[in-house]
Structure 1
Amino acid sequence: MTTGADSTCSGAEATARQHEIAILVPCFNEEFTIGQTVSAFREALPPATVYVYDNNSTDRTIEVARAAGAVVRSEARQGKGNVVRRMFADIDADVFVLVDGDATYEARAAPRMVRRAVDENLDFVNGARVSHSVEAYRPGHRFGNYVLTAIVRSLFGKQFTDMLSGYKVFSRRYVKSFPAMSRGFEIETELTVHALELRMPSAEEFTVYGERPSGSVSKLSTFRDGTRILRLIFDLVRNERPLEFFGLVGVALILVAVALAVPLVETYFETGLVPRLPTAVLSVGLIIVGFLSFLAGLILDVVATMRSEMKRLAYLSYPPVSVGRSSRVAERGRPAPF
């Protein structure tokens, strides 16, 4: 008789025989946790290759990761976003598991997430954190995640509840068509919005989130990184929703102009004079700028649509995750288009 754990392992091994799996671990000064992280994921997904990308660590992160059995590489540009961009460019596989090296994420959930991605032909599986420990998930981080996730849900789609989780599974066509632009921890927001913008087949799996081991320190700053994420959301709305963004700016300017002009119009009809000429000039100027803003939104909306179409075509140029290893072998034998 096979247990549930045995069936999960056998299912993961069967999946790995047909699909090459890469576990990506960005790291910065995680000497106390990286060995445990690598060992846990190698045990959970034995056929997978664990890649640790060191980001200028000053401790023994590289030595510990290599001793635990990981393939260790380096990225000199500081910031998690820079590391993720480098990993996505360097590594080729059928399924990618992205996880932080702080030993807080549930390695046993990886086979379940990978198998769901393959069985349901998903391009993106988000590992939503479940934790009742205050030390593991501080109230400030929890509240910030709730607010930022709520903003993204209202603007781009309501599919995910934990946007800032560092535990995600991707298909090859997601990874190779993702135009990473972020430098730091805001990369999780960009990863989530990319899946929502292209309406990729996606899902969310709840995973246990634990405390950092003793001696390990979080690199996340609640206010600094929260501000960066807000700025990224602002930029994404401006770039991906230009008509709504610049249209709202235009409407706001026109409303201010009307509010300033109403007393002037009333005075004009009563006396036939315009005593506050600068206010009148300001009102006219605001109306002109408001209409120009709306016009800019219309033009940029066409550009944004073209960009979205190009990203969609790049995404569709790769086969779905369910096809697996055979598609990659065939693709290698295909002649270059240029």
Structure 2
Amino acid sequence: MPLKIAVIIPCYNEEVAIAQTVNEFSAALPDAKIYVYDNNSKDRTIDVARAAGAIVRSERQQGKGNVIRRMLADVDADVYVLTDGDATYDAGAARTMIDMLVNEGLDMVVGSRKHTSELAYRSGHQFGNKMLTTLLARLFGNSFKDILSGYRIFSRRFAKSFPALTTGFEIETEMSVHSLELKMPVSEHETLYRERPDGSVSKLSTYRDGWRILRTMITLYRIERPMLFFGILAGLLMLLSIVLALPLAVTYFETGLVPRLPTAVLVTGLTILSGLCMFSGLILDTVVHGRREVRRLAYLSYRSAHQE
């Protein structure tokens, strides 16, 4: 039985580029359904996308994460092709990436970007991507070369088991962590990344969205690795309490007195907080382990494209 392929395109104010995006993916994947989810565009994005032959739907909650959550919930397919509506990604690579997904039994293939000009992928964005990708690898182990790529191929079991809790551009980071934590088979494929068509404007704010992505990584680390997160916090609190307690101990052994009572109270409080952090980490680690088992079972309840 042939695979059901869905191209899902979140977009906001992409009147200039959406027709080109839809046409290119329709030509590259003639057997696929093209879905465009509009996110409160104030231009003619909806009309242009519909005229190009796409199935157009809307999501009123603003933010890329909100749109992707709605897409993955609504659209039923065996293979999902996620791309942006700005005509920057190479539609010709989609078939190769789908073949990788199916033939190698993968759950996600990320299109790592190879830019064709400096205007296509600004140096500031490249630096931020490398920094965040390196940090993700440090926090969660082996990672990808391009965690912020918006060009991805999913299996059904990835799409239907992915909670999509974030609301904005940090959604790609959540996808990467989700696959790493459940130890899914994933891969990357280098794809060309082009300059936007004239008149199309990037919605990504380098500093604001970069901070949101960094904050999401730290939050996911706290949620997914509570023993390490709270263990580090407990160690820092204990180290601080020891540093403050040493002069008190020296004075006590020399004079038998504790003249700096507030410092002694602070040391006691820091020691108690350190212990509470350690026990919190232990308890939450048990909770996370059980939750990860449930997520893994939910993920395995769907067949992969390789098994169709």
TM class by shorter chain equals over 0.9
1:176 aligns to what?
Answer: 160
Residue correspondence of structure 1 range 9-158 to structure 2 within 5 A = 18-158=2-142
Deviation at 1:132, TM superposition (A): 4.6
Deviation at 1:319, TM superposition (A): 1.0
* One-letter code aligned to 2:187: A
- Could you tell me how far apart the structure 2 residues matched to 1:323 and 1:300 are? 35
Cα-to-partner distance string for 1:228-283 (whole Å, 9 max, x where unaligned): 11111111011000000001100100000000000111111111111111001101
> What SS does structure 2 have at the residue aligned with 1:176?
helix
- Could you tell me how far apart the structure 1 residues matched to 2:253 and 2:116 are? 66
2:264 aligns to what?
Answer: 280
1:259 aligns to what?
Answer: 243
1:317 matched to 2:293? The reply is no
1:191 aligns to what?
Answer: 175
- Could you tell me how far apart the structure 1 residues matched to 2:31 and 2:141 are? 35
Cα-to-partner distance string for 1:118-172 (whole Å, 9 max, x where unaligned): 0111101011001152111111111111111111111112231100000000000
- Could you tell me how far apart the structure 1 residues matched to 2:214 and 2:183 are? 22
Q: What is the TM-score normalised by the length of structure 2? A: 0.99
Does the CA contact (< 8 Å) of 1:159 and 1:203 recur in 2? no
Does the CA contact (< 8 Å) of 2:136 and 2:143 recur in 1? no
- Could you tell me how far apart the structure 1 residues matched to 2:294 and 2:161 are? 10
* One-letter code aligned to 1:255: L
1:302 matched to 2:286? The reply is yes
Does the CA contact (< 8 Å) of 1:28 and 1:54 recur in 2? yes
Does the CA contact (< 8 Å) of 2:9 and 2:82 recur in 1? yes
Does the CA contact (< 8 Å) of 1:186 and 1:232 recur in 2? yes
- Could you tell me how far apart the structure 1 residues matched to 2:158 and 2:222 are? 23
Cα-to-partner distance string for 1:27-77 (whole Å, 9 max, x where unaligned): 100000000000000001110010000000010101111111110000000
1:225 aligns to what?
Answer: 209
* One-letter code aligned to 2:229: F
Q: What is the TM-score normalised by the length of structure 1? A: 0.90
> What SS does structure 1 have at the residue aligned with 2:161?
coil
- Could you tell me how far apart the structure 1 residues matched to 2:35 and 2:187 are? 24
> What SS does structure 2 have at the residue aligned with 1:125?
strand
* One-letter code aligned to 1:162: D
* One-letter code aligned to 2:174: E
Does the CA contact (< 8 Å) of 2:65 and 2:165 recur in 1? yes
Q: Once the two structures are aligned, what percentage of the paired residues are identical?
A: 60
- Could you tell me how far apart the structure 2 residues matched to 1:104 and 1:320 are? 29
> What SS does structure 1 have at the residue aligned with 2:219?
helix
1:8 aligns to what?
Answer: none
* One-letter code aligned to 2:37: Y
* One-letter code aligned to 1:273: L
Structure 1 moving runs of 4+ over 2 Å: none
Aligned partner (choices 154, 161, 180) of residue 145 of structure 2: 161
- Could you tell me how far apart the structure 1 residues matched to 2:244 and 2:117 are? 53
1:290 matched to 2:290? The reply is no
Structure 2 gap segments, 5+ residues each: none
Structure 1 gap segments, 5+ residues each: 1-16, 325-338
Does the CA contact (< 8 Å) of 2:116 and 2:192 recur in 1? no
- Could you tell me how far apart the structure 2 residues matched to 1:101 and 1:236 are? 28
Cα-to-partner distance string for 1:205-224 (whole Å, 9 max, x where unaligned): 00000100111100000111
* One-letter code aligned to 1:65: A
Does the CA contact (< 8 Å) of 1:21 and 1:94 recur in 2? yes
Cα-to-partner distance string for 1:155-193 (whole Å, 9 max, x where unaligned): 112231100000000000000111110100000000111
- Could you tell me how far apart the structure 2 residues matched to 1:80 and 1:105 are? 17
Deviation at 1:323, TM superposition (A): 2.4
RMSD after superposition: 0.8
